[in-house]
């Protein structure tokens, strides 16, 4: 029996590593194995910024990958938490009754939804702001080079 609360928390906490996918679909899930790739690239981008400074163009592309992965996993946690028990059990517990307890929403599920909404939105907006800021600063630098 796959529990909706456990899946929501795994998507929020360990989603960028694919833990929720492995919990729900098993270790053979290829999307679960692909999720750590953008996560690792984003962490590498953060390390490049720390080592080379904010003018590193490759880090501008890599850091948002981490942010978008975290935000996507937070969205997945929200979707899991808001799923009706009937739909949850039909999708992930097909042999169980439609109103089985594993698909019910509890207070712990609500906390996962609220925290996912808070953190996911914050990370998404920060990733977008970082990307656009660096892009427009680059455009201004290139315009200055042309005008001189």
| SS3 letters across 74-98 | HHHHHHHHHCCHHHHHHHHCCCCCC
3-state helix/strand/coil string of 16-69? HHCHHHHHHHCCCCHHHHHCHHHHHHHHHHHHHHHHHCCCCHHHHHHHHHHHHH
- Can you give the residue range of the structural domain that contains 61? 4-147
Whole-angstrom CA distances from 48 to 1, 58, 138 are 43, 8, 17
pLDDT at residue 138 greater than cutoff 90: no
Task: State phi, psi for 93 to the nearest 5 degrees.
Answer: -130, 65
State the DSSP H helix or E strand holding residue 122, giving kind and residue range, or none if neither.
helix 107-147
Closest-CA residue to 76 (of 3, 4, 12): 12
Q: What is the pTM of this model?
A: 0.86
Q: What is the pLDDT of residue 100?
A: 82
Q: Considering its fold, how many domains does the chain have in total?
A: 1
Query: Using CA atoms, how far apart are residues 61 and 66, in angstroms rounded to an integer?
Result: 10
Residue of higher predicted confidence among 97 and 121: 121
Query: Using CA atoms, how far apart are residues 68 and 74, in angstroms rounded to an integer?
Result: 10
Closest-CA residue to 76 (of 148, 2, 138, 19): 19
pLDDT tens readout for residues 11-45? 999 999 999 999 999 999 999 999 999 999 999 99
Q: What is the pLDDT of residue 101?
A: 81
Average pLDDT over residues 118-132: 92
Query: Using CA atoms, how far apart are residues 89 and 12, in angstroms rounded to an integer?
Result: 20
pLDDT tens readout for residues 41-77? 999 999 998 998 877 888 888 989 999 999 999 999 9
């Amino acid at each position: 029996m796959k529990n909706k609360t456990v899946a929501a928390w795994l998507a929020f906490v360990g989603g960028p590593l694919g833990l929720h996918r492995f919990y729900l679909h098993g270790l053979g899930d290829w999307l679960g194995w692909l999720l750590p790739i953008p996560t690792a690239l984003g962490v590498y981008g953060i390390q490049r910024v720390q080592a080379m400074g904010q003018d590193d163009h490759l880090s501008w592309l890599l850091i948002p990958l981490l942010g978008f992965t975290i935000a996507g996993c937070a969205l997945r946690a929200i979707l899991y938490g808001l799923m009706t028990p009937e739909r949850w059990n039909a999708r992930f517990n097909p042999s169980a009754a439609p109103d089985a307890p594993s698909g019910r929403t509890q207070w712990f599920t609500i906390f996962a939804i609220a925290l996912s909404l808070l953190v996911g939105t914050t990370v998404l907006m920060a990733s977008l702001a970082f990307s656009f800021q660096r892009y427009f600063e680059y455009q201004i630098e290139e315009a200055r080079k042309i005008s001189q």
